[in-house]
């Protein structure tokens, strides 16, 4: 159920968002008035977004806010978002390194987690649950900020196995979807050599989902 909205607190929230980010509408959909008078929630309240978090708000004119609907994310004009998908150990990070420029934004949960934990000799893809929880929060904050950039940049988002609803949201927002999959035999061999044993379970889930014609969401990303 969506959080209740309205009243004095909602007005104060809108004022705080406009004070923080300015009064230029960042959505600029057809019919845009350009002058923001409302706070649009990046992750909608109906989809679990925090209705009172300043970082979950962005300036929008009333027309754009009303027409936007309940999609997730939503990039500002000029920001290109590329979602790179595929099973664990398929080469998603390698694909991004081969195609991203130095000025692009790359959001990779494993890289974030590695940066957040203390010195260790563990492989990059192995980290404790509490580090993962912090990394997930940092990843979400990075996505919210990246899609609101004013600069014309490409944002690369590595999302191993999105659910069907997440894919629908990405498509609704106009994000580019790229699948990196060299084939089950290659992925299984890489996962055995380069990932924790648990990763093989997610490899199996990926290919079962592909065979069934659907998308599945893993319990973690690799």
Are 79 and 147 spatial neighbours (Cβ–Cβ below 8 Å)? yes
- HSE, CB side, 13 Å, CA atoms: give it for residue 26: 24
Tell me if 2 is assigned to some domain: no
Q: Which of 59-68, 160-169, 212-221 has the lowest mean pLDDT?
A: 212-221
Q: Which of 46, 68, 90 is the last residue of a domain?
A: 68
| Span 199-216, pLDDT tens digits | 888 889 888 877 655 554
CATH number at residue 195: 3.40.50.300
Tell me if 74 is assigned to some domain: no
Same domain, 114 and 194: yes
Tell me if 46 is assigned to some domain: yes
Same domain, 180 and 108: yes
| Span 78-131, pLDDT tens digits | 899 999 999 999 999 999 999 999 999 999 998 999 999 888 877 767 788 898
Tell me if 222 is assigned to some domain: no
- Per the listing, tokens 């978090």 go with 53
DSSP 50: -
Q: Which of 34, 68, 102 is the last residue of a domain?
A: 68
Tell me what pLDDT residue 212 has.
58
Q: Which of 68, 89, 114 is the last residue of a domain?
A: 68
Confidence of residue 71 (pLDDT cuts 50, 70, 90): low
Q: Which residues sit opposite 80 in a β-bridge?
A: 154
Q: Per-residue pLDDT averaged across 36-44, rounded? A: 87
Tell me if 216 is assigned to some domain: no
Domain that holds residue 25: 7-68
Closest CA to 219 of 50, 205, 210: 205
Tell me if 57 is assigned to some domain: yes
Same domain, 47 and 117: no
Same domain, 86 and 32: no
Spatial distance between the Cα atoms of 87 and 59, rounded to a whole number of angstroms: 36
Same domain, 150 and 181: yes
Q: What is the pTM of this model?
A: 0.64
Same domain, 100 and 50: no
**With left for phi above 0 and alpha for psi between -120 and 50, is residue 191 left, alpha or beta?**
alpha
Tell me if 91 is assigned to some domain: yes
């Amino acid at each position: 159920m969506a959080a209740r909205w309205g009243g004095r607190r909602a007005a104060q929230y809108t004022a705080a968002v406009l004070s923080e980010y300015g009064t230029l509408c960042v959505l600029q959909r057809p019919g845009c008035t350009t002058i923001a008078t409302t706070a649009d929630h990046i992750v909608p309240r109906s989809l679990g977004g925090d209705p009172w978090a300043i970082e979950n708000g962005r300036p929008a004119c009333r027309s754009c806010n009303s027409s936007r609907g309940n999609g997730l994310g939503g990039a500002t004009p000029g920001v290109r978002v590329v979602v790179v998908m595929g099973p664990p150990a398929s080469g998603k990070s390698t694909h991004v390194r081969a195609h991203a420029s130095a000025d692009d934004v790359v959001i990779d949960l494993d890289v974030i987690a590695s940066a957040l934990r203390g010195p260790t000799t563990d492989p990059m893809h192995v980290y404790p649950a509490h580090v993962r929880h912090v990394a997930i929060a940092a990843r979400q904050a990075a996505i919210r900020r990246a899609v609101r950039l004013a600069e014309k940049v490409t944002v690369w988002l590595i999302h191993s196995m999105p659910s069907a609803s997440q894919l629908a949201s990405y498509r609704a927002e106009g994000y580019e979807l790229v699948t990196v999959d060299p084939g089950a035999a290659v992925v299984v061999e890489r996962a055995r050599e380069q990932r924790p044993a648990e990763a093989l379970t997610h490899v199996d889930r990926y290919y079962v989902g592909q065979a069934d014609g659907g998308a599945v969401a893993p319990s973690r990303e690799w």
